[in-house]
């Protein structure tokens, strides 16, 4: 019977020891979870800042490309207008030469008419 009392004294000690181990394990798990969550939060903030900086840089690059395209478009439109004006002036001059040509109303083109037409090639 004395052995039974000793066994009952051992059970509370084992339960106390098991409770202490469980408590320490819970504290360790809680500390690990806290550190891990803080690491995730810091990583998320860093990734968000990098993403925002990259988006801003991309937006600036896009705006610069659009501005350069607009400048080139305006330059090409000016060149086109100049070329169209040159062609219109040449056509007017060629029509004047064609009207002044005494053989301009023939079915076969004379050499002067052929040379005038070749200026537009």
10 falls within a domain: no
Residue 102: predicted pLDDT: 73
Residue 118: predicted pLDDT: 72
Residue 104: predicted pLDDT: 62
106 falls within a domain: yes
pLDDT, average across residues 78-98: 89
Please, which residues have CB within 8 angstroms of residue 49's CB and are 6 or more apart in sequence?
A: none
7 falls within a domain: no
Residue 4: predicted pLDDT: 57
Torsion sign across C-alpha atoms 48, 53, 54, 59: positive
Domain with 39 in it = 19-118
pLDDT, average across residues 86-103: 82
- Structurally, how many domains does the chain consist of? 1
pTM of the model: 0.50
């Amino acid at each position: 019977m004395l052995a039974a009392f000793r066994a009952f004294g051992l059970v509370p000690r084992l339960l106390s020891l098991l409770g202490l181990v469980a408590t320490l394990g819970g504290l360790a798990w809680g500390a690990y979870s806290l550190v891990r969550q803080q690491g995730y939060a810091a990583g998320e903030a860093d990734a968000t800042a990098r993403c925002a900086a990259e988006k801003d840089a991309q937006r600036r690059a896009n705006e610069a490309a659009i501005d350069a395209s607009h400048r080139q478009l305006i330059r090409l439109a000016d060149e086109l207008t100049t070329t169209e004006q040159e062609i219109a002036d040449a056509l007017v001059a060629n029509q004047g030469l064609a009207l002044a040509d005494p053989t301009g109303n023939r079915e076969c083109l004379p050499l002067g008419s052929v040379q005038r037409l070749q200026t537009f090639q």
